[in-house]
Chain A
Amino acid sequence: MSNEEMKNVAAVCPNFYWKLFQSTFLISAFTVGGGFVIIPLLRAKYVDEYGWLSDKETLNLVSIAQSMPGVVAVNASIILGYRMAGIPGALTALAATILPPLITLSSISCAYDWFAAHPYVHYALKGMQCGATALIVNVAIDLLQKQWKKRLLWPLTIIAGTFVANFFFDVNIMLLVVIDGILGLLFLRSAEYGK
């Protein structure tokens, strides 16, 4: 697809920026569960309800959002916003995605400081810490199983090396990801390593 074929949705849709901001803001404000829940909702709005984007193009753009660094829901809103209306579109969608958590979490953070010292709240938080620990352990197990099933030497070596360096030798995490990124650039460019 070339740039010439791209239509600027903002130019043909009245009140585009307001609609974009409002719909994205509401989705971000009321959706619990992160990117994998938010993206289907964004798609339903932009594709099915407003007809701003085609289904296929949205899928392609979302797959870029999922493979690039950062928070998937934020990436998706940036890329979709950019596709529809250039940089102003990207900024509008980004603001609409991060404002609700900024408002909600700032209020919750004040309440946390207020309540966390209370012994009963402390017990409940301790219980919830265990629940959250189970969640991240579960994610780690799923990811490890997924990588293990692929039986590819390079990714498994990177996993083992990174884990040992980080957990047992306290090697700086940023240094590790830079090294692993360079290894990827040099050795992992073939499609079998994707996904």
Chain B
Amino acid sequence: MIYLTLFWEFAKVGIFCVGGGYASMPLIQAAVVDTYRWMSLGEFVDIFTISQMTPGPIGINAATFAGMKIAGIPGAICATVGFCTPSLILGIVLANLFFRYGDIGPIRGILNGLRPAVVALIAAAGISFVILALWNVETLPEDMAAVDPLGVIILAGSLAAVRRKVGVIKLLAGTGVAGLVLGLIQQSLH
């Protein structure tokens, strides 16, 4: 039953993503790309891209979009509700702990262990995105020389722009235009 699977997979993402929207990306990627192969890494990066440009929390946007692609509107609802269910339960429990004791106790320890874990997972996801951008493949390429010049130019430019704190919308609009222009140039050269 695809809807139950979606609900459960996204509930797991909701339990384990600590530290905001970016933290959910490697977890969603693990479920939808690696485990169930519902989509390619390229499609997933598109979801990540579009989730940044649309209003609303990035993690929810990504869950909705992924659920929609996998199983239509009911899929989008299952993924999103699944994602939020752990937050709802845990939020109520933690709020009560806090109202009663002014602290959230041993849960802090678990969260302190998860925070560095998420740093590692975001870094690993980042590297797999870089490999896709530069070589258009999902795992370390066998032929390192077969690099996509378009990917190298735009990724280098984007990194420089991001380190200079260019806004997300400006960056993505700019890279979209750059991709179109360079893609057309590349096409006319072949």
A75 — nearest CB in chain B belongs to which residue?
Answer: B87
A139 — nearest CB in chain B belongs to which residue?
Answer: B22
Say whether A105 contacts B116, CB under 8 Å.
Answer: no
CA of A182 to CA of B109, assembled, Å: 8
Q: Which of A30, A70, A74, A160 has the most CB of B within 10 A?
A: A70
> What per-residue 1/0 map shows which CB atoms of B119-157 lie under 8 Å from chain A?
111111111011011000000000000000011001100
Interface status of B92 (Cβ within 8 A of chain A):
yes
Say whether A173 contacts B119, CB under 8 Å.
Answer: no
Which residue from B113, B118, B133 sits with its C-beta under 8 Å from A130?
B133
Chain A residues closer than 8 Å to B18, beta-carbon distance: 67-69
Say whether B91 contacts A68, CB under 8 Å.
Answer: yes
Say whether B54 contacts A101, CB under 8 Å.
Answer: yes
Chain A residues closer than 8 Å to B53, beta-carbon distance: 32
Please classify how large the interface on chain A is, using the bins under 10, 10 to 19, 20 to 34, 35 or more: 35 or more
Interface status of B48 (Cβ within 8 A of chain A):
yes
CA of A187 to CA of B17, assembled, Å: 20
Residues 92-116 of B at the A interface (beta carbon under 8 Å): 92, 94-95, 98-100, 102, 104, 106-116
CA of A98 to CA of B129, assembled, Å: 27
Chain A residues closer than 8 Å to B116, beta-carbon distance: 147, 154-156, 158-159, 162, 180
Say whether B119 contacts A126, CB under 8 Å.
Answer: no
Say whether A32 contacts B54, CB under 8 Å.
Answer: yes
Say whether A69 contacts B14, CB under 8 Å.
Answer: yes
Which residue from B17, B46, B56, B133 sits with its C-beta under 8 Å from A116?
B46
Chain B residues closer than 8 Å to A172, beta-carbon distance: 30
Say whether B25 contacts A166, CB under 8 Å.
Answer: no
Give the interface of B toward A (CB within 8 A): 12, 14-18, 20-22, 24-27, 30, 42, 45-46, 48-61, 64-65, 68-69, 73, 76-77, 80-81, 83-84, 86-88, 90-92, 94-95, 98-100, 102, 104, 106-127, 129-130, 132-133, 150-151, 154-155, 158-159, 161-163, 168-169, 171-172, 174-180, 182-184, 187
15 A–B contacts from the bound complex (CB under 8 Å):
A2-B100, A32-B168, A38-B57, A71-B60, A83-B95, A100-B55, A105-B76, A108-B65, A129-B45, A129-B49, A136-B126, A138-B159, A173-B26, A185-B106, A193-B109
